[in-house]
Structure formats: structure tokens, C-alpha cells
Amino acid sequence: MRKKIVAGNWKMNTTVAEGVALAKAVAAKSAEVPANVGLIVAPPFTHLVSVAEALKGSKVELSAQNCADKAKGAYTGEVAADMLVSAGCQWTILGHSERRQYYGETDAKLVDKVRLALDNGLGVILCVGEMLEERKAGRHFAVVTEQTENVLFHFSAEDMAKIVIAYEPVWAIGTGETATAEQAEEIHACIRKVLEGKFGKEVADNTTILYGGSCKPSNAKELFAQPDIDGGLIGGASLKADDFIEIGKSF
């Protein structure tokens, strides 16, 4: 059966000291979260080594928020997948809408990034999601299907065992406006169908699909009760250890 996961994307928040304190607080309470629910935190690059240390001995795994589309060399300001592994990461988020919107991340670049992450042994949390105008135009299924196909159809069924998908409707990120459980469920089911068409039912059934976008303790239970929603990618609410842990207990 596919794994349930709650992952915290800290985005560009916290100093190193604040991040270590947050990681320690999450680690200390992580045993309250059921054993079958995975917990992941994704701090900024600068925090990774110290946060890895703070998480030691707990079930909480470490993710980066991005990685380079090149293996190494003269790419000033970039961080490569093997560097993330050497810093203690098990995961990287890729294709977050903020990277697509503000930093020109394309599906083509994402194929290279996912490949490098997998080749280096990282698990990938690949984000997809439509903008408000796309939903208003009734294009949300098409957009999410395209994003999923454009990246994941370059990979194999075996690769899919290391890939988690996060559906994050852009209009629900940081706005306080969550997708309803029905809106989220129908997109998750659509993504699973797309995976089934390419990789078969077993891979589709085994792929974890997270919801992200103003997910918090008050709405997590209803979202996670949906048959195709396997957890959450949490922004704002992951910056408070108690809220993050509460969400982890919402299955």
C-alpha cells in the first residue's frame, strides 16, 4: 500500500538557529504521529546540515526545496543533488509553483532535475498545480495532466517508487483559501488515472499523492479522508511544530 506522508516546506523562512529549534521541536513530538505516517521537513539549503543533526534519532526525514539541473561545475549559486545527499537529505522537492512562476522552472528542466535526484538516491516530491486563471477557464484537469505527463513520462515504473506527487493549486497557496476536499480529490484521482495509463494500476496505486495549499490542522482531516489524498505538503502551518504534528495526526 502507498505511504502516507506529511511534508513541511519551510520556503524562505527561519534563520539557522530558528530552523534548528523548529526541527528539534518537530523531532521531539514526532513519535505522536502514527508509525505509518512519514514526516519530512524541507528547510532552506543553509540549514540542511544542522537540521539533519537535529533530526537524528527521530523518524523525521530531511528534504531540500530544489536542486540543480546539472551535476556539478560552473553554475554559480546552484546546489547539486549529490551535495544534498552529502548534507543529509533523503528527499528534494522539485517543480514547486513558486519556482515555476518566479524562477523560470520548466517541465524540461524538471526532467533533468528529477533524473539527477533519482540517480543520486534522493526521493522526489514533484509539485503540479494550476493557476487561478487556468481553473477559471476550466483547464485545471488539462494543466495538471500535462505537467504530470511532461515530467514523469520520461521515467520508468521503477523510478516511480521514489517519486511522490504534490498537487498544489496555485490559488490555494498561502491564500488561506483551501481547495475543497472534493476539488482536491477529483484532481488526485485524475493524476492517478494518468499514472495508471502509463505505468499500470500497481504503480498508480502505490504512488503517494499529497495535497498542498493552505492545509492546516482544521482542514487536514477532511482532506486526508479522501481516497486519493495520501497526505499533505504544508507551507505556513509547517513553521509551527504543534500545527505540523497535529496535521500528521489527521489520518
Site track 92-121 with ligand 13P (rule: CB under 6 A), x = hit: ----x-------------------------
Stretch that binds ligand 13P, among 115-123, 194-202, 218-226, 233-241 (CB under 6 A): 233-241
Instruction: Kindly state the smallest distance separating residue 144's Cβ from ligand 13P, in Å.
Output: 15
Q: Which residues are catalytic?
A: 96, 168
User: What's the one-letter identity of residue 135?
Assistant: R
Residue number of the CB closest to ligand 13P reads 235
Instruction: Kindly state the smallest distance separating residue 71's Cβ from ligand 13P, in Å.
Output: 26
For 145, the enclosing helix (H) or strand (E) is helix 140-152
Q: Are 194 and 149 in contact (CB under 8 A)?
A: yes
DSSP states of 120-176 as a string? TT-EEEEEE---HHHHHTT-HHHHHHHHHHHHHTTS-HHHHTTEEEEE--GGGSSSS
For 49, the enclosing helix (H) or strand (E) is helix 48-55
Instruction: Kindly state the smallest distance separating residue 215's Cβ from ligand 13P, in Å.
Output: 6
Q: Which triple of cell numbers denotes residue 7?
A: 511534508
Q: Report the residue number, 199 or 236, with the smaller CB distance to ligand 13P.
A: 236
The span from the CA of 145 to the CA of 152, in Å, is 10
The span from the CA of 125 to the CA of 96, in Å, is 9
Binding of ligand 13P by 236 (CB under 6 A): yes
- Residues binding ligand 13P: number (CB under 6 A): 14
**Whose grid coordinates read 534563520?**
15
Binding of ligand 13P by 235 (CB under 6 A): yes
Instruction: Kindly state the smallest distance separating residue 73's Cβ from ligand 13P, in Å.
Output: 29
Touching ligand 13P, residues 204-223 (CB under 6 A): 212-215
The secondary structure of residue 238, as a DSSP letter, is G
Stretch that binds ligand 13P, among 81-89, 134-142, 152-160, 227-235 (CB under 6 A): 227-235
Binding of ligand 13P by 174 (CB under 6 A): yes
Kindly list the residues in this chain that would bind ligand 13P in the complex (CB under 6 A). Answer: 9, 96, 168, 173-174, 212-215, 233-237
